[in-house]
A and B are shown apart, each in its own frame.
Chain A
Amino acid sequence: MPSNKSVSDAPIFQFTNCRILRSHQLQREDLWVREGKILNPEKLFFDEKGSADIQLDCKDSIIAPGFIDVQINGGFGVDFSLAADDVQSGISLVSQKILSHGVTSFCPTLVTSPPSVYHKVLPQISVRNGGPHGAGILGAHLEGPFISKEKKGAHSEHYLSTFESGAFQDLLATYRHLDCVRIVTLAPEMKRSSEVIQELTRRGICVSLGHSVANLSQAEEAVRHGATFITHLFNAMLPFHHRDPGIVGLLTSDQIPARRRVFYGMISDGIHTNPAALRIAHRAHPKGLVLVTDAIAGMGLAPGRHTLGQQVIEVDGLNTYIAGEHSIRSLVTFSPHLGPCVF
């Protein structure tokens, strides 16, 4: 059937025989798209008297929005924290490979590194839209170096840093180029963090709390100054305690400013967090949950040794360790771990 040409000449696509994700449910509905925008078919029918130009039979597939991964350190042999000459090709490789895993946008993440790495890598990262060529790049996630020594996890202790002398100027000296930075993870208990958080927020950069020994009041103050995210909840922070819930307490805190929501990243591979803990967090604050992979260069490759910034990582089966140590670190494979995450 020809489409009505009064509003637009662009062809109208109708995806049929499919299930779409709508109102938190999978519903059997057709999906109508014109010029990359989803149409309301009822409006199209009655107002425009339009109909589909091209019908596509989805053979009972699900059409779902793509995943957004806000914490991914590399993959397929690429380590985003390496001071390479050609950072773009590494990012492009990862962006192309993760498409088949359902990820359509991501934030390349840099772990704690010396300033020279940031000075070299950050200018080479550019924000760009995704497409058939690969997932979109939303901007860099800088995890460290302004984090707590006690909760450094797999980060290199040697390059941890503070901003207690110059506050935001110290941060700027370390990173230098902030144009393509989207998220910064820091520990809010550090001196002068409030000023830093305020300035980052003013510049439109999302501040995330993580790798920290902050108590609940310190975390709440950080949120008051603009922090809106928590980096991999439960990991690299003080455990929930009933007299001081720490950063975890932000999920149910009543000190969050009105109309603001605190989001929390969660690594759901069953190793970083126990699924029962995951469920507690989800039930407490279902609208804040953000799944992340925190994947490393070894993702998608056979077991072996890879770098994670300044550290060397050993992948052995499902577990990954700092070479020589045995503390919990991050995810190796992708979808098997995102898969079981349906609540």
Chain B
Amino acid sequence: MTRPQSYDEGPRLGAKLSGGRAQQGAARLDSFFILDVQETMKLIILENYVQASEWAAKYIRNRIIQFNPGPNKYFTLGLPTGSTPLGCYKKLIEYYKNGDLSFKYVKTFNMDEYVGLPRDHLESYHSFMWNNFFKHIDISPENTHILDGNAADLQAECDAFEGKIKAAGGIELFVGGIGPDGHIAFNEPGSSLVSRTRVKTLAMDTILANARFFDGDLSKVPTMALTVGVGTVMDAREVMILITGAHKAFALYKAIEEGVNHMWTVSAFQQHPSTVFVCDEDATLELKVKTVKYFKGLMLVHNKLVEPLYSMKETGAERRQSKKPYSD
């Protein structure tokens, strides 16, 4: 895969928290280069949920198309469930329907699934993925992988899932969300930051947050789930976390402005070489004004990751041409 030339912006980003130098850094980056996807955390702040969803979808689209997947080279995508990614899924479906994006050579791995819930239950993650994504696109059923919460041997199912990821060559881009308690997938507070796919008991916070999908009846919410581990997601070559809404603001603060801590498992991604956090304004409410201003200042640069927006309708030659990076 060809990547745009990268400028070694390490020292400038390292100085991100000291105001003046950050401004200067942002201005220089803006006029010169597209940021490389390696070795940086990117905080993308959009005005509202719809725009955040659209930015995320555009990013996924560009990544798949630039990867140029084919029968011997599948793009492996990790996927979340819940209300946050719905807008992003809608946009991706739109791109497929317009002919701009195809999922024919994409393999998907979902993060989690409830234990004990029948697979065709309306609230199972199988149903969620079918109704909100799979049934609208051209993905082959054998290329989708969701943990089976009704397997006879749950841990064996988890181990097999890890094996499938490995067999597929690892995950290219893992998309996830964040819980109000800062968890990624169902890695509740206290989860090991090097954990692998396993059975987890859900925290009360999570059960309460999920009750709205079960008619508000706490007794109907499953108490256990199979989930990828923090370590499993960390193994992905790139991670994208979607965070929208004021109720996630504190978790975002804990995830990126405080230290790496197993009580807020998303914080582990501070140690991942390539993470993108896509949020709306409301999700940034607990961040320092300084942080928000810095990353907003970088939006001109970050937007170059989604502009130009590639389409599978273009031929390979056109696409390679338009990828030329700007240079001084």
Contact surface of A with B, Cβ cutoff 8 Å: 1, 4, 30, 40-43, 45-46, 48-51
Contact surface of B with A, Cβ cutoff 8 Å: 119-120, 126-127, 130-131, 134-135, 138, 140-142, 144, 146
Q: CB < 8 Å: which of B127, B138, B142 contacts A42? A: B127
Q: CB < 8 Å: which of A4, A41, A49, A50 contacts B135? A: A41
| Chain B residues with CB under 8 A of A42 | 120, 126-127, 130-131, 135
Q: CB < 8 Å: which of B126, B135, B138, B146 contacts A1? A: B138
In the complex, A45 Cα to B146 Cα: how many Å?
12
In the complex, A309 Cα to B25 Cα: how many Å?
96
Shortest distance in angstroms between A310's beta carbon and chain B's nearest beta carbon?
57
Report whether A49 and B141 are in contact in the complex, using a CB–CB cutoff of 8 Å. Answer: yes
In the complex, A159 Cα to B135 Cα: how many Å?
61
Report whether B135 and A30 are in contact in the complex, using a CB–CB cutoff of 8 Å. Answer: yes
Report whether A1 and B130 are in contact in the complex, using a CB–CB cutoff of 8 Å. Answer: no
* Closest chain A residue, CB of each to CB of B104: A1
Report whether A50 and B141 are in contact in the complex, using a CB–CB cutoff of 8 Å. Answer: yes
* Closest chain A residue, CB of each to CB of B126: A46
In the complex, A43 Cα to B127 Cα: how many Å?
10
Shortest distance in angstroms between B226's beta carbon and chain A's nearest beta carbon?
16
Report whether A45 and B141 are in contact in the complex, using a CB–CB cutoff of 8 Å. Answer: yes
* Closest chain A residue, CB of each to CB of B135: A41
In the complex, A127 Cα to B120 Cα: how many Å?
38
Report whether A45 and B138 are in contact in the complex, using a CB–CB cutoff of 8 Å. Answer: no
In the complex, A220 Cα to B269 Cα: how many Å?
73
| Chain B residues with CB under 8 A of A1 | 138, 140
Shortest distance in angstroms between B130's beta carbon and chain A's nearest beta carbon?
5
* Closest chain B residue, CB of each to CB of A47: B119
| Chain B residues with CB under 8 A of A41 | 130, 135
| Chain B residues with CB under 8 A of A40 | 120
Shortest distance in angstroms between B44's beta carbon and chain A's nearest beta carbon?
32
In the complex, A50 Cα to B126 Cα: how many Å?
15
Most buried by B among A41, A43, A46, A50: A46
Shortest distance in angstroms between B106's beta carbon and chain A's nearest beta carbon?
14
| Chain A residues with CB under 8 A of B126 | 42, 46
Report whether A46 and B130 are in contact in the complex, using a CB–CB cutoff of 8 Å. Answer: yes
Report whether B120 and A43 are in contact in the complex, using a CB–CB cutoff of 8 Å. Answer: yes
In the complex, A48 Cα to B141 Cα: how many Å?
9
- Give the top 10 A-B pairs by smallest Cβ distance, nearest first: A49-B141, A42-B130, A45-B141, A49-B142, A46-B126, A45-B130, A1-B140, A41-B135, A51-B141, A45-B134
| Chain A residues with CB under 8 A of B142 | 49
Shortest distance in angstroms between A41's beta carbon and chain B's nearest beta carbon?
6
In the complex, A4 Cα to B144 Cα: how many Å?
15
